Structure 1
C-alpha cells in the first residue's frame, strides 16, 4: 500500500450472512449485501468528482480499478476497503470491486448490477464491441471488469477480485474462449454503466501502411517488417501486430513506426502476404485498421543440403568419407568468415549415413536435418533453439515399416499446416511419408505408404514441395524412366491423388536423374530432369496449380560436345527468375536462367566460371540465395573438397570464381551427393 494513502479494512458484522453455504472454494461471488461497508461515503481523488453515483468517465473507471490492482487488495466477502484514491468503503469481492470502479453509492451484487447499467450483449461470446470499463457479469455467480483489448484477434485483459484470499489482479482471455473464470462464457452479459460521461472521443480509424518490405519485393534471410501508423483523433495508444499469411510474427509493437524481425525461411518459397494491423485505443474505445503487401520468398521449396538459418546465415551439410555428416556455416549472414568444417554431431551407435543429410527450417525457425543410415532407417537432428545450438543429436525418427528399408536422400517440406513432412523411398519401390502431428514438434505420424501405387518401382529420392495452392506435391522417377506425380487434394492433408505418370516420355528418351522442381514467379509448378541423351528436359503447368502441362521438351540445346550428368539444381534468384545449374561431362558447372520472370526465353547453357586449377567437379550442384540476394553455388570437387562460387551483384554477374569454402577436416573427404 502506498505510503501517502490512508486505507483501512472494515470487518464484517454478519459473517455468516455473507458466506452462506457452498462458498468455501473456487471462484466466489457476492449474493448478499453485508451491513457496515455497503454504503460509500466518498469516491476519493480519482473521482467521480460529484460523489458516489455521479457521472464517471471510462478513464476514471480503469484508473480506479488499477488502484486496487496495484495494491493487490485481497478478496473477501466479509471485509471492505477504502483509501484516499478511490474512497469507499466498498466490499472486496467481485461485485464490490466493480461497484468501486464505477463509483457507485454502495456495493452491489452480481444480480443487481444490471439495475444501474445497460445490457449491451446478453452473451459476450464473440462480442468484439466491449469497451474499457464495461462489466462482464454472470448474474448468478461472478463479475469482472473489462480493461482493454490486447490484440485484434479477440484477446483482452480484465480486472477482477477472484476468490477468498487472492489479490485483485489483471488477467487475460479470449472473447472466443468457451469459458471465463471457470464459467461458460455464454453465461456472461456485457454491462455498460448508465452514468458514463465522455472524457475524450473514441478513436477514429487509424492509418497504417506497411513500409517494409515493399509490395512485390523478393526477400530471403533475416528481414525486418515495418510500418507507419498514426491516429487522427490524437492521444490514442497505437499497437501494431504483424502477420504473414494470417500467422502472427512476434508480439504487438507500440508507437508510430513499429517493426519486427521475420525469417522468410519459415515459409515456403512463393508469394506471401505481409499484414500490419494497428489498433488505436483510449478510455472511450478502440478502432482497428490494417495494411498488406505481397512479397516473394525466393529460394528452395524443399529440403536441401544448403539453406539459410533463422538468422540468414547459409548452412551447408555434406557426407564425409567416414559416413558422418559434416557442417559449415557462415558466421555473418551472407558473408565470411565461415565456421570451418566439423562433424555435425556424433554418429548414432553402430550406424553410418548412406546419403548426405537434407535440411530445412521448421515452423519455429529451427533447422532440422534428416539422413538415411546403414540400418535402413532415417535419423533426425535438430536445433533446440532457432538459429542456434545445441543440436538434439542424431536419433531414429520412427520405427521402420515391416520388411522395408530406406535408401537415397530424404525429401521434405513444410506443409500448409506448418508441419514438417518427410518422404523417403523404400526398398519395395514405394514412397513413404512421415509428418509431425503438431507443428514444430513430436509426435510424428510414423512411416506409411503414400496412397496409390504407381505400378512401377519409384527410384530413390523423390522431390517434395508446396504448390501455389499450398498443397504438397511429390515427383519421382519410375523404373521405366518416366516421371510420376502424387499430390494432396486438400492443402496440408489427404486424400492424395495417387501416383500417376505426369505426361508421356519424349521419343527415344528416358529420364535418369532425380527431379528438380518448384514454383515459378507466376505460381506455376516447373520440373526439370536429365534425360538418357544427356540433355535437360522441362515440363510446366500452363495454369498455376493445375493441368494441363506443357509436356516434356528439351530446355535448350546442349553446349558443343557436352552432355549433362546427374540432376539439375533449381531455385529462384533475387529477380524471381528460375535458374538451373547442372554438371557437364567436362566436370564444369553450367547455368541456364529465365530472362523474364516466370518464362522465356532462357539464356542458354553456359559455364558459370572456369574450373579451379587441377580440379573437376564430381557431384551435383547445391545452390541457394544468400541473405544479400546473391545466388551461391556449392559443389564437390575431384579432390573431395567443397567449392563455392557466388554472385557479387544480386541476381547477376560477375561471379566470385570457384574457390574452396574451407580446408577439409583431417583425414576426411566429402562424398558427392545430390542437393
Structure 2
C-alpha cells in the first residue's frame, strides 16, 4: 500500500472484507526452523518459496506497521510490514515497495483464472493502485470462487491467511499480477513409483486387488478384499519368489480364463517379470526376458487384454527407448514385437505407455515422443495391421510429459488423458466411435488444478460417468474431474471434501462389480496406501490401508 495510509483506505478495505464473506483467519502453527532461501535478493524464486516466506510472517505474528518493519526467515530486514511490504518480503525483493511500485517488477495477467500461487491481487483504484494488495495462495476448489490469500490488512492486525470470494475481488476491482522473476516449481514423482494407474483390478472371483512395492524391501505386495471378507495383504516376493522390482509401478491384468497377474521389472537386471495366479491355482512367477526374449525394461510397463483373450504387455526398452509389445494369445505361446522398428512408433519418454481396446476391437497404446513430447498413438484394428500417428501434429494434442491415462466409455469414445508439459494443464484428447479427434483443456474449461506426479487415473462408472483422478501440483490434494453421461464436466477436491491425505500423484482407480468407485493413492507424508471410495448409493469415504490391511509403506 502507500507508505502513508488514510481513513479512506481503511473504509474501502473494511467494505471489501465485508464483501468477501469475512476473511476467516487460520491459526498459525509455529515451526522450529526454516530452510535457507533458495533464491537471491531480486532473483528467480519458486512459487513454493514465496508461500514459505509468506507463511513465516504468519507464524511470527508480524504486526501491520509502516515502521519499524520486520525480518524475513533469513534475517533480512524489511522496513515496512504493511500489505505491499509483505508482498515485497515474500517475493524476496531488495526493499519494501509500495502498491504502486510493485507494478515495476511484475506484469498484469489476463484474468483471475490465470492466477497461480505466489501471484498478487492489487486493487486497481482507477489505475492508481493506491489501496491494498494481497498475495494469492490458491483457489479453495475447482470452481475458483474463493481465493486463499496472505495479507497484512490493517493497523492492530498481524500477517494472516484469509479467504476472499471472487465477487469481492471483482467488486473491489482487484487485478491479478505476476512477479517478473517467479518460476514454477519442478514437479517429479518418486524415482520408483510403486503405485500406478494399472495397479488395481477386479479379479475373476470378485476380489478387489491392488499391487504395490514395499518401500523397505522392494518386494511386490498385493492388497486385496475378497467378496464378503476383510482386507488382507501378502508379500508376493516371499510367496511366489517375485524379484525385487524397480522403475515404474506394477501393471496388473486379469485374463479371460481367470488368471490374475502383474508385470514388473527386475531391479537387478531390468528383466521383465510376470507374476500370476490361475483361477484355481497358486501364485507363480517367470522371467519373460529369459524365457521369451522380452527386452530389458526401465519398469514403465502397462497391460491390456483384448476381446480375443490375448494378453498384451507394452514396455519401453531401457537400452534404446523402443516401444515394445510382448504378448500371449489365448491359445499359443509368448511373442515379442518391436513397435518402433516394425511400425515406426517414436522412441518414448516419461511414464508408462497407456494401453486401450476400443469397442470395435482395435488394440492400441499411447506414448509421448522422447524427441519433442508429441502425443503418439500406435494401434491395430481387429483384422488389420499396426499403424502409428502423431496426435500433436494431426489433431493438435498438446505436448506431454508422458504421464498418460486412457478410458473407453459405453458409447465407444476413446479418451486419452494427458498432462501438458508446457503448463501442467490436464488435457483430454478423445475420439468418438463415429467422428474425428478433438481436444479439451480440463484446466481451462473445467478448473481442474494443474497436476503433478504420476499419470492421471481414468475411470468409467456403471452410470456412464467418465472421469479422471489427479494430484494438485500446488498442494498435493487429490482431485477428481468427471462428466456424467448426459451432463457437463465438473471437478472437486477429495482432500478438502473427504479428507484424503495429500499425495504425490501416484494413483490408481478401479470399479467394483457392485459399482463402487475405488481410488488408491500414495500419501506423500508417510508413504501409506490410501483408499478413497464412492459406493453406488452413499457418499465418499477414505481409509488408510496400512491400518486397514497392514499394507507396507510404498516407496
Q: Structures share a fold, TM > 0.5?
A: yes
SS of the aligned residue for 1:620 comes to strand
Q: Counterpart of 2:105?
A: none
Q: Counterpart of 1:591?
A: 480
* Structure 2 gap ranges (5+): 1-195
| 1:367-390, Cα deviation, whole Å (9 max, x unpaired) | 021111221211011113x1x541
Larger helix percent:
2
Quote the offset at 1:554 in angstroms.
3.7
Alignment of 1:626-665 (within 5 A): 626-637=512-523, 638-650=525-537, 654-660=539-545, 662=547
C-alpha change, 1:531 and 1:487, in structure 2 (3 Å) is same
| 1:64-104, Cα deviation, whole Å (9 max, x unpaired) | xxxxxxxxxxxxxxxxxxxxxxxxxxxxxxxxxxxxxxxxx
Q: Counterpart of 1:443?
A: 333
Contact 1:529–1:536, Cα closer than 8 Å, also in 2: yes
Q: Counterpart of 1:316?
A: 210
Contact 2:273–2:285, Cα closer than 8 Å, also in 1: no
Quote the offset at 1:484 in angstroms.
0.1
Alignment of 1:457-496 (within 5 A): 457-479=348-370, 480-491=372-383, 494-496=384-386
Greater relative contact order structure (CA < 8 Å, 6+ sep): 2
| 1:636-671, Cα deviation, whole Å (9 max, x unpaired) | 112111111111334xx51123433546869x5212
What is the rounded CA distance, in whole Å, between the counterparts of 2:243 and 2:357 in structure 1? 36
Question: Residue 329 in 1 paired to residue 224 in 2?
Answer: yes
C-alpha change, 1:595 and 1:331, in structure 2 (3 Å) is closer
What is the rounded CA distance, in whole Å, between the counterparts of 2:547 and 2:440 in structure 1? 40
Quote the offset at 1:570 in angstroms.
0.5
Larger strand percent:
1
Quote the offset at 1:552 in angstroms.
5.2
Quote the offset at 1:343 in angstroms.
3.7
SS of the aligned residue for 2:484 comes to strand
What is the rounded CA distance, in whole Å, between the counterparts of 2:451 and 2:351 in structure 1? 23
Contact 2:232–2:549, Cα closer than 8 Å, also in 1: no
Quote the offset at 1:445 in angstroms.
1.2
Quote the offset at 1:435 in angstroms.
1.2
Alignment of 1:262-277 (within 5 A): none
What is the rounded CA distance, in whole Å, between the counterparts of 2:489 and 2:392 in structure 1? 23
Structure 2 residue corresponding to 1:370, chosen from 242, 247, 263: 263
**Over the residues paired in the alignment, what is the CA RMSD in angstroms?**
3.1
Contact 1:413–1:420, Cα closer than 8 Å, also in 2: yes
* Structure 1 gap ranges (5+): 1-301
Q: Counterpart of 2:250?
A: 357
SS of the aligned residue for 2:527 comes to coil
Question: Residue 452 in 1 paired to residue 352 in 2?
Answer: no
The count of aligned residue pairs is 352
C-alpha change, 1:542 and 1:362, in structure 2 (3 Å) is closer
C-alpha change, 1:522 and 1:438, in structure 2 (3 Å) is closer
Contact 1:400–1:447, Cα closer than 8 Å, also in 2: no
Question: Residue 604 in 1 paired to residue 487 in 2?
Answer: no
C-alpha change, 1:601 and 1:316, in structure 2 (3 Å) is same
Quote the offset at 1:437 in angstroms.
3.8
Contact 1:341–1:662, Cα closer than 8 Å, also in 2: no
Quote the offset at 1:542 in angstroms.
3.9
Contact 2:199–2:210, Cα closer than 8 Å, also in 1: yes
SS of the aligned residue for 2:388 comes to coil
Find the structure with the greater CA-based Rg: 1
- Could you state the TM-score of these two structures normalised by the residue count of structure 1? 0.48
C-alpha change, 1:339 and 1:457, in structure 2 (3 Å) is closer
Question: Residue 515 in 1 paired to residue 408 in 2?
Answer: no
Question: Residue 624 in 1 paired to residue 517 in 2?
Answer: no
SS of the aligned residue for 2:204 comes to coil
Contact 1:359–1:368, Cα closer than 8 Å, also in 2: yes
What is the rounded CA distance, in whole Å, between the counterparts of 2:260 and 2:322 in structure 1? 27
C-alpha change, 1:349 and 1:574, in structure 2 (3 Å) is closer
Contact 1:327–1:344, Cα closer than 8 Å, also in 2: no
| 1:594-636, Cα deviation, whole Å (9 max, x unpaired) | 1225xx51123433655759x5212422111113211111111
Structure 2 residue corresponding to 1:529, chosen from 415, 418, 421: 418
Contact 1:341–1:665, Cα closer than 8 Å, also in 2: no
Q: Counterpart of 1:549?
A: 437
Question: Residue 413 in 1 paired to residue 304 in 2?
Answer: yes
Alignment of 1:498-513 (within 5 A): 498-501=388-391, 503=393, 510-513=399-402
What is the rounded CA distance, in whole Å, between the counterparts of 1:612 and 1:341 in structure 2? 27
Q: Counterpart of 2:276?
A: 382
C-alpha change, 1:490 and 1:629, in structure 2 (3 Å) is closer
Q: Counterpart of 2:470?
A: 582
Alignment of 1:34-53 (within 5 A): none
Quote the offset at 1:454 in angstroms.
3.7
What is the rounded CA distance, in whole Å, between the counterparts of 1:365 and 1:349 in structure 2? 20
Q: Counterpart of 1:432?
A: 324
- Could you state the TM-score of these two structures normalised by the residue count of structure 2? 0.57
